[in-house]
Structure 1
């Protein structure tokens, strides 16, 4: 039996190469569109109601962490978080600003929502590095030179800051040139550079002028530090000097490359 002719084979190949008809998707019916739209509106309205109108997501508690000198009760009172309000509507920035304004001891605070019913206040308190005696009380100064609190009892282990009396000519010149705040910051800078072993026994940081700062240790020894510049080099030099001359009573590291010690 004879097979297909060449013409017949060509026709079959043409038929097989014709792509199948494309099925066009029918657009959704208007009724389906309306149902979907209504469902989305109801879903959105339900979400808004849950966040703002329901009793499910309202502020019921305020947790405080990170306090040292301050008490959690003091922080809660200053924060004045609106209990019973929708959690989503609480202005966390306003709470932060209120705490920093009312409690200067707070250096920073992180205010967060703790779903479904809480507000968290994570506090970082300022740490005093110097104290200034004033009227029988003590003003605490932090490492930025901020005078943030006045206390009736001096904190242990914190050196006193002593500024030269106003009648001192060097003090008057420094105050006129740098200002009291700048001199306090220089004293803070020095306090931060004192070697740890020396810092534990430092009783007073005396500032006579910008470049005349000295330390008085608890055993009566003194250190001429000079300005607040080259603090790291001065700290290393002082550490070496204390080891080399343990019986000395006065140390001078104002020029760290040419230190000196005297007394016995």
Structure 2
């Protein structure tokens, strides 16, 4: 009996004799097995490199001894000393620079040193912390109990000193018998005085020696040369300032000026 034809042999699976596709069956390639270890692709390598890089940066910032806070530098002080500022800042020397809480340092300085108006706390890599200080400046000074309370342009009474700062006008609150004190309070009246001071032009400020508040609507100025100005309330300050300058030009020898009603001023004592 004749054997199977070539086609019949090709139609059988050489392993189990079952029907198969035509043509010879090729043995499996060594790298086609399910357990083969594949080489990592570019994305996997990039991910590993990124993880290693981040881990290295974290160690460098937090774990190494290279980026530690070692010194503090203070700038901008005028009355305060850098030593006072740095002591109040309490920067944790030796801590990782990245871990220094700059917001906490700022809060401590503003709380402990009211003379500081603002402060910028910055990291100065690789080892420093910088404190850029802006101090409050007095625009008026209030005498009390033989000492002097400095008042800034925000009406903040920020410091008490033994000696009045040079060139700063005195603020006199003579409101003890005035109903304005009960109605508005001392803080409000101090604020009104500061408001008047802020409306004065520089040429008047240079001659201003004191500013008296008798009530909310009775504020007066004392100028060099034994000159006085009745200002009234702090309302319409710019108009009153313009009127006062015009009066001084028109009557340079006058000693008393009243601009409480800037549309109807008065001058006397020539």
TM (norm. structure 2) is 0.83
1:34-45 → structure 2 map (5 Å cutoff): 35-45=45-55
Which residue, out of 229, 232, 237, partners 1:226?
Answer: 232
1:1-264 → structure 2 map (5 Å cutoff): 29=38, 31-32=40-41, 35-166=45-176, 168=177, 171=178, 173-264=179-270
- The Cα shift of 1:165 comes to 4.4
- The Cα shift of 1:218 comes to 2.6
| Cα distance in 2 for residues equivalent to 1:134 and 1:143 | 19
Q: Return 5+ residue gaps in structure 2 as ranges.
A: 1-37
SS in 2 for 1:64: strand
- The Cα shift of 1:98 comes to 0.2
SS in 2 for 1:254: coil
SS in 2 for 1:110: strand
| Cα distance in 2 for residues equivalent to 1:34 and 1:239 | 79
More helix by share: 1
SS in 1 for 2:243: helix
| CA displacement 1:236-259 (0-9 Å, x = unmatched) | 111110111112111001111111
Q: RMSD value over aligned CA atoms?
A: 1.3
| Cα distance in 1 for residues equivalent to 2:103 and 2:46 | 38
- The Cα shift of 1:56 comes to 1.2
Q: Which residue of 1 aligns with 2:33?
A: none
**Equivalent residue pairs, number:** 232
| Cα distance in 2 for residues equivalent to 1:104 and 1:222 | 34
Higher radius of gyration, 1 or 2: 2
CA separation of 1:240 and 1:84: change in aligned 2, threshold 3 A: same
- The Cα shift of 1:155 comes to 0.7
Q: Which residue of 2 aligns with 1:25?
A: none
Q: Which residue of 2 aligns with 1:8?
A: none
- The Cα shift of 1:41 comes to 2.4
- The Cα shift of 1:219 comes to 2.0
SS in 1 for 2:92: coil
| Cα distance in 1 for residues equivalent to 2:46 and 2:211 | 75
SS in 2 for 1:48: helix
| Cα distance in 1 for residues equivalent to 2:132 and 2:46 | 44
| Cα distance in 1 for residues equivalent to 2:254 and 2:78 | 39
CA separation of 1:36 and 1:197: change in aligned 2, threshold 3 A: closer
